[in-house]
Amino acid sequence: MICATAVALELGALLLLLRNGLWRAYMFFLAYAIWLLIGNSAILVTFLYFPAVYPALYWHTDSIDVVLRFLVVWEVFHQTFPNGSGLNKSLSKGLGIIAFGLLVFACATFWGYQNYTSLRSIHLALDRSFGFVQAVMILGTLLMARYYGVSYGRNIRGIALAFGGWVSLSTANNAMADLTNSFLPYWYYLRPLSFVLMMAVWIWALWVYEPNPPIMESEAAELSQWTEEWNRTISTARTIIRP
Amino acid sequence: MINLTLFTILGLVLFGSFIFIALQGSPKSLPDTSAVRAVTQIINLEGSSFANARRLLDDTDYQSLCSNPDLRRLAERLRSERKQLALMWISLLQNDLITLWQFRRFLIQRGVPSSLKEELGTLKSLALSLVLLNFIKLSIRTVGPFALPRATRQAGQLVDSMSKGAAVVLGRIPAAGWAEIERSWANSAA
């Protein structure tokens, strides 16, 4: 039932992307939405008609999904700090180094997967390690945008917040499932339910085309006047402080 | 085991952060009020423009009044007034620092080149400066204005260093103007 609802919502999200040409603006997100529909449809079919194959397919699909989720992270970053914007030029190098560090961290935490014996735990460890990093990346992008007063449109705001909430909840959920078996019954429901909730928010976010407002940038004029005013002020302040 | 517990806690903290941001609503569209206020106030940094910090924190007058037993009460009054003035001055310096920081964010947002290292350095400098200024305020409140005169005088230099940081950023602008900023502000305020 939950899986069927998720597939229906994914189909809805895809149709919304195709309507009004939204997909042209959100290519990476479109790719992920297509993957979700294909992957979860396959899971639903195997669950109903080929139950023997279902567990293996579920976990392998989940592992591919972990990697493809970076498409959403990139879409959020790319839409918030578009190529060619001053903020992108200034911060992309430093943020790239941080992103690389986070990926190394994810790999390092996953490296300890030998501690887990069952097949399930390996996939949970993968999901947990990379899910955490993805949540941090999304949160970092949102905080950075807030710091510099960059506005969001409804589309990216909805996508980022729902995705971030889902991956962070999924991280905690996976860790708890591995921590104690008594949490497993909840894990089976909490994760798919939170996924369905994320899809519902995505549908809301994509209902109308509302991209991020463009970042206003200074025009190439009147540099000398501004710099002159600034230098005059600073030099006055210095003279007063250190006569 | 520790690893899993940590992931559980961090995951829940992250989830809470997303919920918090979602509830807070969208950030203000640019430029925000504080940034433009910074632009208009940048010419007049109130704390930095106070010229008599050295005199304010100098205890010579107080000591000479104290040396005469008949003028003790006057000396105490002088001390109390100096204390209020010093506290006010430190508060103005704090406002100046925050104003300069807001102005810098405003500049970077509008495309002035910078790097993450510089941004983190500025943030660190601001945090340290504010902590030091608060410490000085606390010391003035508890032991009076003449206890830490040197540290208090140096508080003014903190603002100076922040100003230099912003000046370095401004020096890199290919082109910009007051008119453009004012126009943006008028548009956003409308």
- Selected residue of B18, B26, B52 to mutate for chain A interface (largest A Cβ count, 10 A): B18
B105 touches chain A (CB under 8 A): yes
Smallest Cα distance from B95 to chain A, Å: 15
> Which residues are CB-contacts of A41 (< 8 A; sequence separation ≥ 6)?
A7
B52 touches chain A (CB under 8 A): no
Identify the closest residue of chain A to B114 by CA–CA distance: A90
Residue A99 lies in a domain: yes
Residue B28 lies in a domain: no
Lowest mean pLDDT among A99-103, A230-234, B19-23, B155-159: A230-234
Q: Across chain B, what does the average pLDDT equal?
A: 72
Residue B96 lies in a domain: yes
Count structural domains, chain A: 1
Model confidence band, residue A243 (pLDDT cutoffs 50, 70, 90)? very low
Identify the closest residue of chain A to B14 by CA–CA distance: A168
- Looking at residue A226, its pLDDT comes to 43
pTM (two decimals): 0.71
Q: At what angle do helices A70-80 and A154-179 cross, to 10 degrees?
A: 150
Is the pLDDT confidence value at A2 over 70? Answer: yes
- Which ranges in chain A belong to alpha helices (H)? 2-18, 22-25, 27-49, 54-68, 70-80, 86-111, 119-147, 154-179, 184-206, 223-241
Mean pLDDT of A51-77: 90
- Looking at residue A29, its pLDDT comes to 92
In contact, B48 and B89? CB cutoff 8 Å: no
Residue A54 lies in a domain: yes
Residue B36 lies in a domain: no
Q: For residue range A190-221, what is the model confidence (pLDDT) as tens digits?
A: 888 999 999 999 999 989 888 888 776 654 44
Model confidence band, residue A239 (pLDDT cutoffs 50, 70, 90)? very low
Domain that holds residue A140: 2-215
Which value does ipTM take for this structure?
0.80
Taking the C-alpha atoms of residue B118 and residue B166, their distance in angstroms, rounded to an integer, is 11
Copy the structure tokens of residue B95. 């406002």
Q: For residue range B126-181, what is the model confidence (pLDDT) as tens digits?
A: 888 788 788 878 888 888 777 666 555 566 666 666 666 555 555 554 444 545 54
Handedness of CA A80, A167, A1, A38 (dihedral sign): positive
Residue B16 lies in a domain: no
Percent of chain A having pLDDT more than 90?
Answer: 29
Taking the C-alpha atoms of residue A10 and residue B29, their distance in angstroms, rounded to an integer, is 31
Q: How many CB atoms lie within 10 A of CB B38?
A: 22
Copy the structure tokens of residue A6. 């998720």
Domain that holds residue B97: 47-173
Count structural domains, chain B: 1
